[in-house]
């Protein structure tokens, strides 16, 4: 019984299956028999895309030699090169680019092959694309770059390749957060370190006005802030409130970070916008441990105001009474005056409150 001839639909389906399976002999036979080379499945994938995604070079070569379109796209706008990049099929990518595939073709969302590879963490594919001239800082329609996506997903090797080959380490994510801070917030400390070592601007601020280091000192576990310091974060960078990391650490009484910041040459007598130093801020907040450490490390305990007159440092009485803090009689005069002033203020407040209660009969 003679076999019925295959319909174009049947031949296209058979060609797609052979390409995906890597059966180069069958792919060649079907093409010679008239199978439609650009046949599309329901999602829009062609036999070339199927072969490229699997890295089946014989099938890819047979299809390209037959004249298969390199720029046909799926419903999402992916070409064979974009799909191969997402799978890390470097050899197939090389063959497609050698035959003229458009390296900057984009999906409906604006993803290039480079960005698609970054999504999947395909470091070797990224390197190949960049060496072939791909635009390293290209962005999607939403505004995401390959580096931002690789950082968000924690693809350390991909981040390293992108930075080594020209990506801007000081770029931001879609919320305006510097990538180095985003990496720290998501616990991607290796990525954070690589960004800093490649020159990420650690003085850049996020939407809340924090730098990477002031945020880490305020909110992150101590090891995160310490690794940020070790990777070269700017210890004098200020948040939009004018506070340095040392000031934040002193206010929050994170004494280990105060010590580490000072070890990394943080300016112990730097002033915020109101002219207050870390010591003054710690005194005002009643942070006895921070006060003791700052004094031990040489903080100026007799600062001057803008007119050059000695300041009376604001101080909670509890600071002078904490174990390990110098006794009130041994504290610098400015701090003793501050303790007395605060104690007097509290006395007057209690007295006023008592008078009000008596006045109203309760």
Q: At a CB cut-off of 8 Å and minimum separation 6, what does 253 contact?
A: 282, 285, 287, 289, 290
3-state secondary structure of 140: coil
Predicted structure pTM score:
0.80
Which residue pairs from 288-293 have beta carbons closer than 8 angstroms and sit at least 24 positions apart in sequence? 288/318, 288/319, 288/322, 288/324, 288/325, 289/253, 289/255, 289/322, 289/324, 290/249, 290/250, 290/251, 290/253, 290/255, 290/258, 291/319, 291/325, 292/322, 292/324, 292/325, 292/326, 293/255, 293/258, 293/259
What are the distances in angstroms from CA 90 to CA 65, 107, 123, 220?
19, 20, 10, 39
pLDDT below 70 — which residues of the chain? 1-4, 312-362
CA 308 to centroid of chain Cα atoms: 43
Dump pLDDT digits (tens) for 215-264.
999 999 999 999 999 999 999 999 999 999 999 999 999 999 999 999 99
- Give the start-to-end residue ranges of the domains of the chain: 7-50
What are the helix (H) ranges across 40-145?
A: 47-54, 57-65, 80-87, 90-98, 113-120, 123-131
Buried b (16+ CB within 10 A) or exposed e, 68-79: bebebbbeeebb
pLDDT the model gives residue 161: 98
The upper half-sphere exposure of residue 111, i.e. CA atoms within 13 Å in the direction of its Cβ, equals 23
Closest by Cα among 253, 223, 249, 235 to 319: 253
pLDDT the model gives residue 164: 97
């Amino acid at each position: 019984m003679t076999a019925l001839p295959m319909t174009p639909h049947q031949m296209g389906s058979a060609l797609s299956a052979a390409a995906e399976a890597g059966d180069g002999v069958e792919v060649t036979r079907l093409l010679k028999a008239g199978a439609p080379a650009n046949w599309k499945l329901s999602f829009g994938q062609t036999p070339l895309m199927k072969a490229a995604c699997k890295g089946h070079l014989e099938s890819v070569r047979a299809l390209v030699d037959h004249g298969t379109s390199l720029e046909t796209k799926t419903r999402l706008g992916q070409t064979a090169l974009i799909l191969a990049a997402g799978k890390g099929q470097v050899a197939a990518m090389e063959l497609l680019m050698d035959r003229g595939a458009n390296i900057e073709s984009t999906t409906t969302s604006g993803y290039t092959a480079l960005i698609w590879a970054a999504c999947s963490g395909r470091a070797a594919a990224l390197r190949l694309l960049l060496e072939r001239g791909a635009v390293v800082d290209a962005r999607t329609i939403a505004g995401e770059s390959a580096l931002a996506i690789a950082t968000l997903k924690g693809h350390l090797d991909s981040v390293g390749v992108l930075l080594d080959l020209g990506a801007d380490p000081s770029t931001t994510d879609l919320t305006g957060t510097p990538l180095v801070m985003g990496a720290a917030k998501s616990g991607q400390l290796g990525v954070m370190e690589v960004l800093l070592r490649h020159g990420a601007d650690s003085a850049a601020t996020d939407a809340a006005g924090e730098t990477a280091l002031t945020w880490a000192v305020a909110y992150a576990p101590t090891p995160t802030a310490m690794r940020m310091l070790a990777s070269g974060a700017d210890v004098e960078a200020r948040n939009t409130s004018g506070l340095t990391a040392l000031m934040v650490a002193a206010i929050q009484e994170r004494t280990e970070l105060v010590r580490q910041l000072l070890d990394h040459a943080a300016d112990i007598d730097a002033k915020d916008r109101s002219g207050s130093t870390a010591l003054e801020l710690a005194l005002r907040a009643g942070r006895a441990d921070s006060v003791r450490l700052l004094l031990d490390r040489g903080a100026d305990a007799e600062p001057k105001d803008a007119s050059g007159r000695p300041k009376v440092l604001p101080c909670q009485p509890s600071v002078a009474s904490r174990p390990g803090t110098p006794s009130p009689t041994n504290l610098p005069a400015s701090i003793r005056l501050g303790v007395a002033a605060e104690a007097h203020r509290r006395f007057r407040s209690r007295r006023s409150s008592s008078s009000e209660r008596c006045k109203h009969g309760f």
